Amino acid sequence: MMQKVISKVTKKYQATIPAVVRKKLHLGVGDMITFELSGQDIIIHKATAMDKVFIAALSETLNEWNSDADEDAFRDL
């Protein structure tokens, strides 16, 4: 049987991960999660070591818009 849980999105587009989901994914403070998009479905996973390596490598190439002015300009997006 599928269990459904709900979390409210704040005005900063943040949401609390419900306890039942945290327990199922063995999430702790500071853990990272990934979102897998497939049509209208989204699957959340706990990030693996390989996910973290990929993101670290990718983030080093995305620094062209990494200033305080850019942060101020795009904060509300």
For residue 29, what are the domain limits? Answer: 19-74
The pLDDT tens digits along the chain (77 residues) read: 788 999 999 999 999 999 999 999 999 999 999 999 999 999 999 998 888 787 777 766 766 666 778 777 777 77
Distance CA 20, CA 10 (A): 20
Looking at residue 53, what is its pLDDT?
Answer: 81
Q: How many domains does the chain have?
A: 1
Whether 35 is in a domain gets the answer: yes
Distance CA 34, CA 28 (A): 14
Whether 5 is in a domain gets the answer: no
pTM, 2 dp = 0.62
